[in-house]
Amino acid sequence: ISHFAEKGEIEEGEVVRVLTNEGEFIAVGHYQIGSIAVRVLSFRDVEINPDFWKTRLTSALNARLAIGIAGAWRRRQSARANR
Is residue 30 a contact partner of residue 15, using CB atoms and an 8 Å limit? Answer: yes
Q: pLDDT tens digit string along 2-33?
A: 555 455 678 889 999 999 989 999 999 999 98
Question: What pLDDT does 7 receive?
Answer: 59
Split at pLDDT 50, 70, 90, the class of 36 is: confident
Q: How far apart are CA 48 and CA 2, in angstroms?
A: 15
